[in-house]
Amino acid sequence: MKTTTLTFLCLTALATQTQASTPEAWAAFDKAMLASCIKASGLQDASPVGKAAQFDDRVDYTAVLLQGRYPQKHMKGQQGTELCLYNKKSKTAYVTEWDSIRLPAKSK
């Protein structure tokens, strides 16, 4: 009985992993992650710079660099860059300014 239960659990885990790695599942994840990061950033007209960096499951984070414009009046629409770390388990985005990194200017 133990072998049957163990086999079932392993097959279930494999099926879940396989399902989670379909192109549709990745597209849905990317969309949710990006929306969460953009919302957390507060940048106007924010968009990703390149593709997100997918860390392995031991880390449980995805990183994406965002570029947009600061909304604060005193910033006068200045371009800003922020790094977003997205926690896959809690589905929470954490952002920090990263204006010190040099990126090509974003076209309007």
Q: Which tens digits make up the pLDDT trace of 30-81?
A: 999 999 999 999 999 999 999 999 998 899 999 999 999 999 899 888 999 9
Whether 104 is in a domain gets the answer: no
Whether 92 is in a domain gets the answer: yes
Whether 103 is in a domain gets the answer: no
Whether 6 is in a domain gets the answer: yes
Whether 59 is in a domain gets the answer: yes
Model confidence, pTM? 0.74
Host domain of residue 83: 2-97
Give the 3-state secondary structure of 17-81: HHHHCCHHHHHHHHHHHHHHHHHHHCCEEEEECCCCEECCCCCCEEEEEEEEECCCHHHCCCEEE
Whether 12 is in a domain gets the answer: yes
- Provide the number of structural domains found in the chain: 1
* pLDDT tens profile 19-44: 457 999 999 999 999 999 999 999 99
